[in-house]
């Protein structure tokens, strides 16, 4: 399957008008913050930290599904009460923006592309974007509060309608099988980020390379949008 390199066939990006990104594992390395959040729930129930399978699950799934997965039968109401008492702002520092993220987004906007998010996060998505100065990605940011969570393609379809775009004009950048299935369900291109086992239209190993490829599209600055800092590529 095609890999994003400096020599990637430009036809892989032909006709694009928008990019949609998953959050966890794509925009951010959020493994540690997810572990801390769900382990805090288990700690509040007097339980041991999550095992490896639980960690994998909560990294990809929506919060309600994840809380059910990590909670013993019959204790869900307790778990939700513990969750309600957590302040995610105390954990947000554990999220790390992906290397090369900001320059890549700058290149995409300069190429005239619209940018959005479809994530299985819920109430924490806005906080993450605000904390790291990525509010421009809410064009729109669709979460599991708005639509059925992935692998359902409803969020991508909502974005297509918002942008008045066809499925051929949009690519979804994700890192899990849920992202792959959502992209296929919506008929959009799927670009796998650091997930070589997935079936994708293009594999992206780093955002520095993707940013250089997007910069080569040369469509000029997006109308009415200001530049972000950091748009230079090594």
Report the CATH number that the domain containing residue 159 is assigned in CATH. Answer: 3.40.50.1000
111 and 78 part of one domain: no
Give yes or no: residues 17 and 132 share one domain. Answer: yes
Q: Could you tell me if 101 and 88 lie in one domain?
A: no
Task: Tell me the per-residue pLDDT of 135-151, one tens digit each, with 9 for 90 and over.
Answer: 877 889 999 999 999 99
The answer to whether residue 226 sits within a structural domain is: no
DSSP H helices in the chain: 31-44, 52-60, 63-70, 76-84, 101-110, 125-131, 154-163, 177-186, 207-215
Q: Tally the domains of the chain.
A: 2
Task: Tell me: do 16 and 84 sit in the same domain.
Answer: no
**DSSP for 73-95, written as a single string:** TT-HHHHHHHHHT--GGGTGGG-
Q: What is the pLDDT along the chain (234 residues), one digit of tens a residue?
A: 799 999 988 888 999 999 999 999 999 999 999 999 999 999 999 999 999 999 999 988 999 999 999 999 999 999 999 999 999 999 999 999 999 999 999 999 999 999 999 999 988 999 999 999 998 778 899 999 999 999 999 999 999 999 999 999 999 999 999 999 999 999 999 999 999 999 999 999 999 999 999 998 864 444 334 333 334 444
Range of the domain at 59: 31-93
End-of-domain residue from the set 75, 93, 111: 93
Q: Is residue 232 part of a domain?
A: no
Cα dist. 23→20, 75, 144 in Å? 10, 29, 12
Give the pLDDT confidence score for residue 229 in this predicted structure. 37
| pLDDT confidence of residue 118 | 97
Assess whether 17 and 57 both reside in one domain. no
Does any domain span residue 200?
A: yes
Phi, psi of 23 (to 5 degrees): -95, -70
Which letter does DSSP use for residue 141 in this model? E
pLDDT at residue 225, rounded to an integer = 40
- Do 136 and 53 share a domain, yes or no? no
DSSP state of 109: H
**Domain-located, residue 233:** no
Q: Is there a single domain that holds both residue 140 and residue 106?
A: yes
Residues 102 and 160 in one domain: yes
Same domain, 86 and 109: no
pLDDT for the residue 136: 78
Same domain as 183, residue 114: yes
């Amino acid at each position: 399957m095609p890999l994003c390199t400096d020599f990637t066939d430009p036809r892989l990006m032909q006709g694009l008008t928008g990019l949609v990104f998953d959050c966890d594992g794509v925009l951010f390395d959020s493994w540690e913050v997810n572990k801390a959040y769900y382990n805090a729930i288990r700690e509040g129930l007097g339980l041991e930290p999550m095992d490896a399978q639980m960690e994998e699950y909560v990294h990809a799934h929506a919060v309600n599904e994840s809380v059910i997965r990590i909670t013993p039968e019959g204790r869900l109401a307790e778990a939700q009460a513990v969750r309600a008492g957590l302040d995610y702002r105390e954990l947000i520092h554990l999220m790390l923006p992906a290397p090369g993220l900001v320059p890549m987004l700058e290149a995409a906007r300069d190429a005239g592309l619209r940018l959005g998010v479809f994530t299985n996060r819920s109430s924490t998505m806005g906080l993450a974007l605000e904390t790291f100065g990525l509010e421009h990605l809410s064009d729109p940011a669709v979460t599991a509060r708005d639509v059925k969570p992935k692998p359902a393609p409803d969020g991508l379809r909502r974005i297509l309608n918002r942008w008045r775009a066809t499925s051929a004009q949009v690519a979804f950048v994700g890192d899990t099988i849920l992202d792959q299935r959502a992209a296929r369900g919506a008929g959009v291109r799927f670009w796998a980020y650091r997930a070589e086992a997935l079936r994708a239209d293009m594999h992206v190993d780093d955002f520095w390379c993707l940013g250089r490829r997007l910069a080569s599209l040369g469509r000029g600055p997006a109308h009415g949008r200001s530049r972000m800092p950091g748009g230079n590529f090594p």
